[in-house]
Amino acid sequence: MSTTSKPKRTRTLKVDYLARVEGEGALYIKIKGDTVTDAELRIFEPPRFFEAFMRGRMFTEIPDITARICGICPIAYQMGASYAMEDACGVSVVGPIRDLRHLIYCGEWIESHALHVFMLHAPDFLGYQDVIALAKDHPDIAQMGLRLKKIGNDVMTMLGGREIHPINPRVGGFYRAPSRKELNTLVEDLTWARQASIDTLKFTATLPFPDFEQDYEFVALRHEDEYAILEGRLVSNRGLDVPIHEFLDHAYEEHVPHSTSLHAAMKGRGAYMVGPLARYNLNFDKLVPIAQKAALEVGLGRECRNPFKSIMVRSVELIHACDVALDLIENYEQPPRPYIDVKPRAGTGVGCTEAPRGICWHRYTIDDTGIVQDARIVPPTSQNQKVMESDMRHFVEQNLDLPHDDLQWQCEQGIRNYDPCISCSCHFLKLHVERE
């Protein structure tokens, strides 16, 4: 990527406050001649020390405490913590209670993906500053996105008591299980949502995508019987295939000077990607048939290595989540008790679920009275930081001829490919590009 004809010139691209991402951070890119010498996601959201203040709390309190880490994916935290506590105590939740967990998680996927696809990411592709500007020209699209998001919220409210920081899930299941009749009230909306998701995919397939394919290590949960959301083994396209307990034997987290969020990497291999693209590439065969069919029909293919197309993959996952939700409701039998008893015992337990943005890994050690001795959480955004930086480096090098404003716009868009949740990874976003 070097030329001798042009004088070396340093350019800096700066986005001082990246909009439409959760939390606070900045992107800094330094270009010397035709080479990107620095590509840093600078995260300055203050660290929140969640792991420290969970020590000394009862194991049953942890799902509600960790849910506060994020307003957009509280279920990921509640479920990861609940599974970890159940693992530590030697019980497992199966049957209709597990189905309810699967259902509320589908609700979270629907509301989170609908928000990201319509409100946060689509404006980038269509050249609008935000969804309000988009809505002026495309009110139907904005209305569809709002209704989809609302339906996701409704699923979460029905099962969780409210749409943000649900209060009904607990270690062992739920405080209250809904009746069949209650769940049936969701069917009409979810049926609409499934079709709207197919239409969403068709719409996103018409968006202009930069030609940008990368060779990623994808990491996701994989489950024998389903497109893994709640549980599974951790697998990758580079040979990782381990139970979730062994995650930290293969991955590590490190501090970097420019971020208050830890950076995760695979030992001996480096950056890896989690989230919709990783799940899609590793688990396409487990998507419900209607989602597979829709994906192939719009030409997405079984593999996708263009991160900008994550907006299409999220649309496929919307179809999947709606269809699974409908199936869970159709086959639901209200359990005699909404939870199983979980008696504390000394030990360590691990839980890992697929948050909308990727795997969210939890490990807790508790004593025989259930008091938490140690807590460790590896959220999805900290795992994606290295690939976000390498994407920016490669994308800028391939597009040095773009006018400054266009390049800056596409860099922000490139960060939003990951729907980063900086509030989870510690919070986002300023972009600096420096050219020398």
Which residues are near other proteins by CB under 8 A? 19-23, 48, 68, 71-72, 111, 115-116, 119-120, 130-132, 135-136, 139, 142-143, 146, 149-150, 153, 162-165, 421, 423, 427
Residue whose CB is less far from other proteins, 87 or 108: 108
Q: Which residues contact 262 (CB under 8 A, 6 or more apart)?
A: 253, 254, 255, 378, 382, 425, 426
Residue whose CB is less far from other proteins, 81 or 221: 81
Least Å distance, CB 153 to other proteins, is 6
Cα 114 to Cα 315: distance, rounded to the nearest angstrom: 8
Least Å distance, CB 150 to other proteins, is 5
Cα 175 to Cα 78: distance, rounded to the nearest angstrom: 13
Least Å distance, CB 115 to other proteins, is 6
Residue whose CB is less far from other proteins, 99 or 419: 419
Least Å distance, CB 163 to other proteins, is 6
At 234 the three-state DSSP class reads strand
Cα 164 to Cα 151: distance, rounded to the nearest angstrom: 14
Residue whose CB is less far from other proteins, 162 or 337: 162
Least Å distance, CB 165 to other proteins, is 8
Residue whose CB is less far from other proteins, 160 or 338: 160
Q: Which secondary structure element, helix H or strand E, spans residue 30, and what is its range?
A: strand 25-32
Cα 281 to Cα 272: distance, rounded to the nearest angstrom: 13
Q: Checking phi first, is residue 290 left (phi over 0); if not, alpha (psi -120 to 50) or beta?
A: alpha
Residue whose CB is less far from other proteins, 11 or 20: 20
* In contact, 410 and 395? CB cutoff 8 Å: yes
What are the structure tokens assigned to 256, written together?
A: 């970097």
Closest by Cα among 410, 211, 200, 400 to 305:
211
* In contact, 125 and 116? CB cutoff 8 Å: no
Residue whose CB is less far from other proteins, 68 or 404: 68
Least Å distance, CB 208 to other proteins, is 23
Least Å distance, CB 427 to other proteins, is 7
Residue whose CB is less far from other proteins, 23 or 232: 23
* In contact, 394 and 414? CB cutoff 8 Å: no
Residue whose CB is less far from other proteins, 162 or 302: 162
Least Å distance, CB 402 to other proteins, is 25
Angle at 122 between CA 129 and CA 141, to 5 degrees: 105
Cα 156 to Cα 182: distance, rounded to the nearest angstrom: 13
End-to-end CA distance of the chain: 15
Least Å distance, CB 304 to other proteins, is 23
Angle at 415 between CA 69 and CA 392, to 5 degrees: 135
